[in-house]
Copies of this chain bind each other. A is one copy, B any other.
């Protein structure tokens, strides 16, 4: 049976199962979510009001046997940025949605009775909506356990913790991974959108589905083999990431002088040795745990890990560079175990690690805590934020709002979203992505660190302006296309350097659907997605004045290279001329 659109209306608790319109047929993942959001959501609507929608869509290759194809996209108007948002995640959801024939799940409206929260269960040709007062005020693992028990583990789960219930802008939507741990639809405060719709969790039936079909199974297998080989033979996706996880980047970015430290005051941290990937790998070797762990079935990179404490007891998993940077360098906590404890707490609550870490780094400027005080950071999150106390509400509103509440000027956000772990002054290509992507400061939208620092896809000097706008544009176009396939961002490394990689990816798409996409088609898909998203943002009230780095980075020199952000507005605005 053909894939369908599942449409849920929380206002009258109804659902419809619709044929996929012809225009949407060739789209998946980000391409589909952004298209639907742009088509159906009033750009001027209040993101937490009745007229916003949540659109979940697996990638075009999700559910297939293709390596690293298990990313699920979520689109909506973001309550953090005020613009369009696409956030994709691993876990088990994408494959299950694809195999169930759910092309997209669209959730509309807000319940008239908002006195409780609801559970939305999607199964073959059916959606059930049930009030779950027993889950209200609980956090993610509690919900996960309840749902796994209810469905005997044959279920994909998406859930929000208390911060999402409270519509905090730092809240994620958390997703079950293959080992029963959590991954996140991060950035943009999408947990608040789910909270506004009074949805505590969404489950998708993982029992009664069929394997996806292929127009040309042999061709698919052959292309898949080439693609997997490219991933495995690339020095970054095949060696660095499996050995040290994403946290391999701490030393690399620190040495490049681009590791934002103490609320973006310098580009190198004295804590690097204590928190780096090498130290982490050593700890894992000594204590048990695992340096490799895939966020979704079919991952051959396995950049995630399981991290134990000194006694060998499980502390956290999915312990990423961005998290370790945010708390280790930007907030100055030099204790990897304590950072892991905070990571586990934030997983359970469903908090965005980047937004939260940068917000706490800024909170030092507001006098709320001291650099390096990890115990207080833990307490602020656990006791204040999770309970919605006033200081918890402040921190839960994110970096940009914290800045407004305390009248601060050195506020590292673009489009009100916290800047991630690469200093835009010292890694300028990445900075161009931050300011231009419709997503707000987002490293995954166009990972110029690859070419600025890792020599992937050539080399563009990170400290100079030359070539950065073009680099960021090309990477963003490619990323928008890749985000539509369900592929993980790290396929970018072989895609940039191995000439066999991208053709194999395209071959897989063609073999799956019996179509005939060319490389140009894929580039045009990427361009089209960016334009749709940009247009939505302009209608929502964003403008070129929002494609800007925080002003202080223009006049404050960043050590050790003593660099400022020196692009003119005209140079940046040139980005959209394509």
List residues of A whose CB falls within 8 A of some B CB. 43-46, 48-51, 79, 166-169, 192, 195-196, 389-391, 393-394, 396-397, 401, 404-409, 538-546, 548, 550-552, 555, 569
Q: How distant is the Cα of A396 from the Cα of B169 in the complex, in angstroms?
A: 19
Residue pair A44, B548 in contact (C-beta under 8 Å):
yes
A404 to B79, CA, bound (A): 8
Q: Kindly provide the distance from the CB of A440 to the nearest chain B CB, expressed in whole angstroms.
A: 14
Minimum CB–CB distance from A376 to chain B (whole Å) comes to 15
Contact of A409 among B46, B391, B405, B539 (CB under 8 A): B46
Question: Of the candidates B192, B389, B409, which one forms a contact with A407 in the assembled complex, judged by CB atoms under 8 Å apart?
Answer: B192
- Smallest distance from the beta carbon of A345 to chain B beta carbons, Å? 21
Known: A167-B407, A390-B391, A541-B543. A551 touches B196 (CB 8 A): no
**Contact status A168-B407, CB under 8 Å:** yes
For A390, the chain B residues whose CB sits under 8 A away are 389-391, 393-394
Oligomer: number of copies: 2
Complex: A396 Cα to B542 Cα, angstroms: 26
Please, which residues of chain B bring their CB within 8 A of the CB of A545?
43-44, 539-541
Contacts of A401 in B (CB 8 A): 397, 401, 404-405
- B45, B167, B544: the one contacting A551 at CB < 8 Å is B45
Q: Which 3 A-B pairs have the closest CB atoms?
A: A167-B407, A541-B545, A390-B390
State A551–B52 Cα separation when bound (angstroms): 12
CA distance A555 to B44 in the complex (A): 14
Please measure, in the bound complex, the distance between the C-alpha atom of A396 and the C-alpha atom of B545, giving whole angstroms: 26
Q: Is the CB of A167 within 8 A of B540?
A: no
- How far, in whole Å, are A50 and B409 apart by their CA atoms in the complex? 9
Q: How far is the CB of A21 from chain B (nearest CB, A)?
A: 26
On whether the beta carbons of A49 and B393 are closer than 8 Å, the reply is no
| Smallest beta-carbon distance A42→chain B, Å | 8
Contacts of A167 in B (CB 8 A): 406-407
